[in-house]
Structure 1
Amino acid sequence: MTLTASEVRVAITGELFSAPQGSTMPADATTALDAAFIGHGYTDENGVAENWDDSVDNKVAWQNATIVRASRTESLATFRATLLQTRGSNLELFYPGSSVSTNATDEWKLEVVPAQADPRSFVINIVDGAIVTRIAIGNGEVTERGEVPHRNGDVTAYPITITCYPDDAGLLFTKYSTDAAWGIDIA
């Protein structure tokens, strides 16, 4: 294996988008997204983190108590982000099933209801200079929400976890990239 520093990627910038399920999903890394996708703006310095939680059932042989096989019993893909912008689309994403509207005095209100199912499509764009990587999640949902700080010296932020479910093709998500290094060593 060759040590090639130019193949090391840093997610310098990017953005998380969501749209109603069934919206047209992207088919590459750079084409403009369907108009149904809404950008969720700034995230905290941790960006967006891809996480895997796999459960494996080890099969142990009688002889020497040696593990001779393993079977995967669960595989969960999630993406975590903390949204920094307080705007209607972020509030509705963080409070699934709730909606932002105006009241009689033309102020805004958020009527928060118990969390409801809110499956959506998501896209995450990741940019490292001229290299663009796009993650397209056809069937996802916010399944975890963290603490929202309301205190002096802190940004009011909305930590979310998006769980990926299989789409109609059985895919959890698809990654696209303009990175030529993706093709190295691939026949």
Structure 2
Amino acid sequence: MTLDATQVRVGITGEVYRAPAGTAAPTGPTTALDAAFEGLGYVSEDGVTEAHDDSVDNIVAWQGATVVRSAVTESVMTLAFTLIQTNTVTLETFHRGSTMTEPTPGVFKLEVKPPTADPGVWVLDVIDGDKHERIYLGNAEITERGELMYANGEPIGYPITITAYPDTDGNLAVKWSDDPAWGESLGS
């Protein structure tokens, strides 16, 4: 493999979207999303972290106390980020199971309920100039919410972690890109 600086990507911009379970999946890195997808607006300057946490049990042989095999016993894929745009979609996403109302004109009310299970579909678009990467989670939900901090000079952030579960095809995620570097060794 040769060193090629033109293949270094930076997640310059993008957006996170959510939709109810059963919403049609995107079909490529730049295809229009189904109308059911809602954009979640600005994410903090820390961006989005994709993590893969695998638990591995080592099998040790009696002879020599040597590891002879490893078995993956658990594998978890997550996306974590902090939303910093405050609106109905963001608040209802963070406070899953709660609904925004307008009891009188210009006055909005969110009765925060205990969180409920809310599996759905999620998309993360990552853009670097004219290169696009799209990550689609066909079965995922919020499994962790961080603390809300109200401080002078800081945006109110809504930190969430989404955990991906296998979809009907067994995929935790599907990734697309129009970046030629992705297919470099495919010979296309």
Q: How many residues are aligned here?
A: 187
Among the aligned pairs, what percent are the same residue? 52
Distance in 2 between the 1:13 and 1:153 partners?
Answer: 23
Partner residue, 1:71 = 71
- Equivalent AA in structure 1 for residue 176 of structure 2: Y
- In the TM superposition, what are the counterparts of 1:119-138 in structure 2 within 5 Å? 119-138=119-138
| Cα shift readout 1:57-76 (whole Å, capped 9, x = no counterpart) | 10011222111100000000
- Equivalent AA in structure 2 for residue 98 of structure 1: S
Unaligned runs of 5+ in 2: none
Give the secondary structure class of the aligned counterpart of 1:183. helix
Distance in 1 between the 2:143 and 2:59 partners?
Answer: 32
Partner residue, 2:160 = 160
Partner residue, 1:100 = 100
- In the TM superposition, what are the counterparts of 1:15-54 in structure 2 within 5 Å? 15-54=15-54
Distance in 2 between the 1:66 and 1:133 partners?
Answer: 42
Unaligned runs of 5+ in 1: none
Give the secondary structure class of the aligned counterpart of 1:46. coil
| Cα shift readout 1:77-136 (whole Å, capped 9, x = no counterpart) | 000010000111011110110111111354111110001001111010000000000001
Question: Does 2:55 correspond to 1:55?
Answer: yes
Partner residue, 1:182 = 182
Distance in 2 between the 1:5 and 1:66 partners?
Answer: 41
- Equivalent AA in structure 2 for residue 122 of structure 1: W
Distance in 2 between the 1:171 and 1:160 partners?
Answer: 22
Partner residue, 1:112 = 112
Give the secondary structure class of the aligned counterpart of 1:185. helix
- Equivalent AA in structure 1 for residue 30 of structure 2: T
| Cα shift readout 1:147-173 (whole Å, capped 9, x = no counterpart) | 111122221000000000111111111
* Runs of 4+ with deviation above 3 angstroms: none
Give the secondary structure class of the aligned counterpart of 1:168. coil
Give the secondary structure class of the aligned counterpart of 1:92. helix
Give the secondary structure class of the aligned counterpart of 1:181. helix
Distance in 2 between the 1:98 and 1:89 partners?
Answer: 11
- Equivalent AA in structure 1 for residue 16 of structure 2: L
- Equivalent AA in structure 1 for residue 72 of structure 2: R
Give the secondary structure class of the aligned counterpart of 1:47. coil
Give the secondary structure class of the aligned counterpart of 1:143. strand
Distance in 2 between the 1:156 and 1:45 partners?
Answer: 13
Give the secondary structure class of the aligned counterpart of 1:15. strand
TM-score (norm: length of structure 2): 0.97
